[in-house]
Amino acid sequence: MDALSAALRIAGSGLEAQSARLRVVSENIANAQSTGKAAGSDPYQRKTISFGNELERTSGVRVVKVSSIGVDATPFNIERDPGNPAADANGDVKLPNVNLLVELADMREANRAYEADLQVMKQSRDLMNMTIDLLKGTS
Amino acid sequence: MEPVYLFGLINQQRSWLSTRQEVIARNVANANTPGFKTLDLKPFVSAPESGELGMVATGALHLSSATEGELSVNQMSGEAWETTQSGNSVSLESEMIKAGDVRTAYSLNASIMKAFHGMWISSLKG
Protein backbone atom coordinates (compact mmCIF):
# COMPACT_ATOMS: atom_id res chain seq x y z
CA MET A 1 0.00 0.00 0.00
CA ASP A 2 1.47 3.33 -0.91
CA ALA A 3 2.16 5.78 1.86
CA LEU A 4 -0.53 8.32 1.04
CA SER A 5 -3.29 5.73 0.83
CA ALA A 6 -2.01 4.31 4.10
CA ALA A 7 -2.24 7.81 5.58
CA LEU A 8 -5.86 8.00 4.44
CA ARG A 9 -6.60 4.60 5.97
CA ILE A 10 -4.98 5.51 9.29
CA ALA A 11 -6.77 8.86 9.48
CA GLY A 12 -10.00 7.00 8.69
CA SER A 13 -9.43 4.61 11.56
CA GLY A 14 -8.85 7.62 13.79
CA LEU A 15 -12.21 9.05 12.74
CA GLU A 16 -13.85 5.74 13.54
CA ALA A 17 -12.26 5.56 16.98
CA GLN A 18 -13.18 9.14 17.85
CA SER A 19 -16.78 8.66 16.77
CA ALA A 20 -17.02 5.56 18.97
CA ARG A 21 -15.79 7.79 21.79
CA LEU A 22 -18.48 10.35 21.00
CA ARG A 23 -21.04 7.57 21.12
CA VAL A 24 -19.92 6.58 24.60
CA VAL A 25 -20.06 10.22 25.69
CA SER A 26 -23.61 10.55 24.40
CA GLU A 27 -24.63 7.32 26.16
CA ASN A 28 -23.23 8.67 29.41
CA ILE A 29 -24.95 12.03 29.06
CA ALA A 30 -28.27 10.51 28.03
CA ASN A 31 -28.18 8.21 31.05
CA ALA A 32 -27.02 10.83 33.53
CA GLN A 33 -30.27 10.39 35.51
CA SER A 34 -31.07 6.71 34.85
CA THR A 35 -31.76 5.01 38.16
CA GLY A 36 -32.15 1.29 38.72
CA LYS A 37 -35.49 -0.47 38.21
CA ALA A 38 -35.98 -2.19 41.57
CA ALA A 39 -35.81 -0.49 44.94
CA GLY A 40 -32.21 0.04 46.08
CA SER A 41 -30.71 -1.41 42.85
CA ASP A 42 -27.67 -0.01 41.06
CA PRO A 43 -28.24 2.74 38.48
CA TYR A 44 -26.49 3.23 35.12
CA GLN A 45 -22.72 2.99 35.52
CA ARG A 46 -20.59 5.46 33.57
CA LYS A 47 -18.77 3.89 30.59
CA THR A 48 -15.16 4.53 29.67
CA ILE A 49 -13.38 3.91 26.38
CA SER A 50 -9.75 3.18 25.58
CA PHE A 51 -7.89 3.05 22.26
CA GLY A 52 -5.13 0.76 21.08
CA ASN A 53 -3.03 0.00 18.04
CA GLU A 54 -3.62 -2.95 15.77
CA LEU A 55 -2.03 -4.24 12.58
CA GLU A 56 -4.64 -4.53 9.89
CA ARG A 57 -3.63 -7.68 8.04
CA THR A 58 -5.37 -6.91 4.75
CA SER A 59 -3.49 -3.66 4.17
CA GLY A 60 -0.45 -4.07 6.44
CA VAL A 61 -1.18 -0.75 8.16
CA ARG A 62 -1.19 -0.10 11.90
CA VAL A 63 -4.61 1.39 12.57
CA VAL A 64 -6.31 2.68 15.70
CA LYS A 65 -8.97 0.48 17.23
CA VAL A 66 -11.18 0.75 20.28
CA SER A 67 -9.32 -1.57 22.65
CA SER A 68 -11.88 -1.70 25.45
CA ILE A 69 -15.12 -0.20 26.66
CA GLY A 70 -15.13 -0.48 30.43
CA VAL A 71 -17.13 0.91 33.31
CA ASP A 72 -16.13 3.62 35.74
CA ALA A 73 -15.86 2.15 39.26
CA THR A 74 -16.25 5.41 41.18
CA PRO A 75 -19.08 5.28 43.77
CA PHE A 76 -22.58 6.32 42.78
CA ASN A 77 -24.09 9.62 43.83
CA ILE A 78 -26.65 9.11 46.57
CA GLU A 79 -29.62 11.42 46.93
CA ARG A 80 -32.46 11.34 49.44
CA ASP A 81 -35.76 10.99 47.60
CA PRO A 82 -38.20 8.63 49.39
CA GLY A 83 -40.88 9.03 46.71
CA ASN A 84 -38.67 7.61 43.97
CA PRO A 85 -39.50 4.02 42.91
CA ALA A 86 -35.78 3.17 43.07
CA ALA A 87 -35.37 4.38 46.65
CA ASP A 88 -34.15 1.86 49.21
CA ALA A 89 -35.57 1.30 52.72
CA ASN A 90 -33.91 4.50 54.03
CA GLY A 91 -35.34 6.59 51.21
CA ASP A 92 -31.93 6.97 49.46
CA VAL A 93 -31.71 6.75 45.67
CA LYS A 94 -28.48 5.80 43.89
CA LEU A 95 -27.84 8.06 40.89
CA PRO A 96 -25.29 7.33 38.10
CA ASN A 97 -21.65 8.36 38.65
CA VAL A 98 -21.79 10.56 35.55
CA ASN A 99 -20.26 14.02 35.80
CA LEU A 100 -21.68 16.16 33.01
CA LEU A 101 -18.73 18.56 33.02
CA VAL A 102 -16.27 15.71 32.52
CA GLU A 103 -18.40 14.32 29.70
CA LEU A 104 -18.60 17.68 27.97
CA ALA A 105 -14.84 18.17 28.23
CA ASP A 106 -14.35 14.69 26.80
CA MET A 107 -16.71 15.52 23.96
CA ARG A 108 -14.75 18.66 23.12
CA GLU A 109 -11.51 16.72 23.07
CA ALA A 110 -12.97 14.03 20.83
CA ASN A 111 -14.19 16.80 18.52
CA ARG A 112 -10.73 18.31 18.29
CA ALA A 113 -9.11 14.98 17.51
CA TYR A 114 -11.79 14.28 14.90
CA GLU A 115 -11.11 17.62 13.23
CA ALA A 116 -7.38 16.97 13.20
CA ASP A 117 -7.97 13.57 11.58
CA LEU A 118 -10.16 15.17 8.94
CA GLN A 119 -7.47 17.77 8.28
CA VAL A 120 -4.86 15.07 7.72
CA MET A 121 -7.24 13.26 5.38
CA LYS A 122 -7.89 16.42 3.37
CA GLN A 123 -4.21 17.15 3.08
CA SER A 124 -3.31 13.62 2.00
CA ARG A 125 -5.84 13.94 -0.80
CA ASP A 126 -4.38 17.30 -1.77
CA LEU A 127 -0.92 15.76 -2.01
CA MET A 128 -2.29 13.00 -4.24
CA ASN A 129 -3.96 15.60 -6.42
CA MET A 130 -0.70 17.55 -6.73
CA THR A 131 0.90 14.45 -8.19
CA ILE A 132 -2.02 13.82 -10.51
CA ASP A 133 -1.90 17.45 -11.66
CA LEU A 134 1.56 16.77 -13.08
CA LEU A 135 -0.21 14.97 -15.86
CA LYS A 136 -2.34 17.95 -16.71
CA GLY A 137 -1.19 20.53 -19.19
CA THR A 138 1.80 18.55 -20.43
CA SER A 139 0.09 16.81 -23.31
CA MET B 1 22.14 10.90 -17.76
CA GLU B 2 21.67 13.89 -15.51
CA PRO B 3 17.94 14.48 -16.03
CA VAL B 4 17.31 10.87 -15.10
CA TYR B 5 19.31 11.28 -11.90
CA LEU B 6 17.38 14.44 -11.12
CA PHE B 7 14.07 12.71 -11.56
CA GLY B 8 15.33 9.95 -9.29
CA LEU B 9 16.22 12.43 -6.58
CA ILE B 10 12.87 14.18 -6.89
CA ASN B 11 11.16 10.82 -6.64
CA GLN B 12 13.09 9.89 -3.52
CA GLN B 13 12.07 13.12 -1.83
CA ARG B 14 8.48 12.63 -2.92
CA SER B 15 8.33 9.18 -1.38
CA TRP B 16 10.01 10.50 1.78
CA LEU B 17 7.34 13.19 2.00
CA SER B 18 4.52 10.69 1.46
CA THR B 19 5.93 8.49 4.20
CA ARG B 20 6.18 11.48 6.50
CA GLN B 21 2.54 12.26 5.77
CA GLU B 22 1.71 8.68 6.74
CA VAL B 23 3.62 9.04 10.00
CA ILE B 24 1.76 12.28 10.74
CA ALA B 25 -1.53 10.51 10.06
CA ARG B 26 -0.51 7.80 12.49
CA ASN B 27 0.40 10.32 15.17
CA VAL B 28 -2.85 12.24 14.79
CA ALA B 29 -4.96 9.09 14.74
CA ASN B 30 -3.26 7.95 17.94
CA ALA B 31 -3.67 11.31 19.68
CA ASN B 32 -5.63 9.57 22.45
CA THR B 33 -4.03 6.12 22.53
CA PRO B 34 -2.49 5.41 25.93
CA GLY B 35 1.27 4.93 25.86
CA PHE B 36 1.70 6.03 22.26
CA LYS B 37 4.99 7.85 21.53
CA THR B 38 5.13 10.45 18.76
CA LEU B 39 6.99 9.16 15.72
CA ASP B 40 8.93 11.09 13.11
CA LEU B 41 11.17 10.31 10.17
CA LYS B 42 14.86 11.08 10.05
CA PRO B 43 15.45 14.21 7.99
CA PHE B 44 15.68 13.70 4.25
CA VAL B 45 19.23 13.38 2.93
CA SER B 46 20.00 11.92 -0.46
CA ALA B 47 21.32 8.40 -0.28
CA PRO B 48 25.04 8.97 -1.05
CA GLU B 49 25.41 11.51 1.73
CA SER B 50 23.82 9.61 4.57
CA GLY B 51 26.28 6.68 4.55
CA GLU B 52 24.40 5.03 7.36
CA LEU B 53 24.19 1.27 7.61
CA GLY B 54 20.86 -0.36 8.30
CA MET B 55 20.09 -3.96 9.10
CA VAL B 56 19.14 -6.28 6.27
CA ALA B 57 16.01 -8.40 6.50
CA THR B 58 17.22 -11.90 5.67
CA GLY B 59 14.22 -13.94 6.77
CA ALA B 60 10.51 -13.82 6.10
CA LEU B 61 9.84 -13.30 9.80
CA HIS B 62 11.95 -10.16 10.03
CA LEU B 63 9.97 -7.00 10.31
CA SER B 64 9.87 -4.94 7.15
CA SER B 65 11.50 -1.56 6.95
CA ALA B 66 8.19 0.20 7.52
CA THR B 67 9.30 1.41 10.93
CA GLU B 68 13.02 1.47 10.29
CA GLY B 69 13.58 5.13 9.60
CA GLU B 70 11.37 6.26 12.41
CA LEU B 71 12.39 7.21 15.87
CA SER B 72 10.20 8.46 18.62
CA VAL B 73 10.48 12.09 19.55
CA ASN B 74 11.66 11.65 23.09
CA GLN B 75 14.80 9.96 21.81
CA MET B 76 15.88 13.38 20.60
CA SER B 77 16.34 15.60 23.62
CA GLY B 78 13.89 18.40 24.21
CA GLU B 79 11.69 17.64 21.23
CA ALA B 80 8.64 16.32 22.98
CA TRP B 81 5.94 18.89 23.57
CA GLU B 82 3.93 17.33 26.32
CA THR B 83 3.32 13.87 27.69
CA THR B 84 -0.04 13.15 29.24
CA GLN B 85 -0.66 10.99 32.27
CA SER B 86 -1.47 8.03 30.02
CA GLY B 87 2.02 8.16 28.46
CA ASN B 88 0.86 9.68 25.18
CA SER B 89 3.21 12.30 23.76
CA VAL B 90 1.28 13.39 20.66
CA SER B 91 0.65 17.11 20.32
CA LEU B 92 -1.93 17.88 17.65
CA GLU B 93 -0.49 21.38 17.19
CA SER B 94 3.00 20.18 16.38
CA GLU B 95 1.55 17.57 14.03
CA MET B 96 -0.35 20.28 12.16
CA ILE B 97 2.89 22.28 11.84
CA LYS B 98 4.65 19.22 10.46
CA ALA B 99 1.77 18.63 8.06
CA GLY B 100 2.15 22.21 6.84
CA ASP B 101 5.85 21.64 6.20
CA VAL B 102 5.09 18.49 4.26
CA ARG B 103 2.55 20.32 2.16
CA THR B 104 4.95 23.13 1.25
CA ALA B 105 7.76 20.74 0.41
CA TYR B 106 5.46 18.49 -1.60
CA SER B 107 4.12 21.37 -3.64
CA LEU B 108 7.68 22.59 -4.32
CA ASN B 109 8.62 19.06 -5.30
CA ALA B 110 5.70 18.78 -7.71
CA SER B 111 6.52 22.14 -9.27
CA ILE B 112 10.15 21.20 -9.80
CA MET B 113 9.07 17.93 -11.35
CA LYS B 114 6.72 19.82 -13.65
CA ALA B 115 9.36 22.37 -14.64
CA PHE B 116 11.97 19.78 -15.51
CA HIS B 117 9.45 17.67 -17.28
CA GLY B 118 8.54 20.71 -19.35
CA MET B 119 12.18 21.24 -20.27
CA TRP B 120 12.54 17.64 -21.19
CA ILE B 121 9.48 17.76 -23.42
CA SER B 122 10.62 20.96 -25.13
CA SER B 123 14.01 19.44 -25.88
CA LEU B 124 12.23 16.48 -27.41
CA LYS B 125 9.98 18.64 -29.56
CA GLY B 126 12.83 20.86 -30.61
The pLDDT tens digits along chain A (139 residues) read 789 999 999 999 999 999 999 999 999 999 999 988 888 889 999 999 999 998 988 888 899 999 999 999 999 999 898 888 888 888 899 999 999 999 999 999 999 999 999 999 999 999 999 999 988 865 5
Q: How far apart are alpha carbons A118 and A15 in whole angstroms? A: 7
Confirm if B63 and B57 have CB atoms less than 8 A apart: yes
DSSP, res A76: P
* pLDDT string in tens for chain B (126-residue length): 455 577 888 888 999 999 999 999 999 999 999 989 888 888 887 555 555 666 666 777 776 554 445 555 544 444 556 778 888 888 888 899 999 999 999 999 999 999 988 888 899 997
Q: What is the pTM of this model?
A: 0.78
Whether residue A124 and residue B25 make contact (CB cut-off 8 A), yes or no, is yes
When scoring A18, A124, A139 by the number of chain B Cβ atoms within 10 A, the one with the most, hence best to mutate, is A124
pLDDT at B71: 53
pLDDT at B47: 54
pLDDT at B117: 86
What residue segments make up the domains of chain B, in order of their start? Answer: 2-125
DSSP, res B67: G
Whether residue B28 and residue A62 make contact (CB cut-off 8 A), yes or no, is no
Q: Does B118 touch chain A (CB under 8 A)?
A: yes
Whether residue B28 and residue A4 make contact (CB cut-off 8 A), yes or no, is no
Q: How far apart are the first and last CA of chain A?
A: 29
Q: Which of A83, A84, A86 is nearest to A44 (CA)?
A: A86
pLDDT at A139: 52
A65 CB neighbours in chain B (<8 A) are none
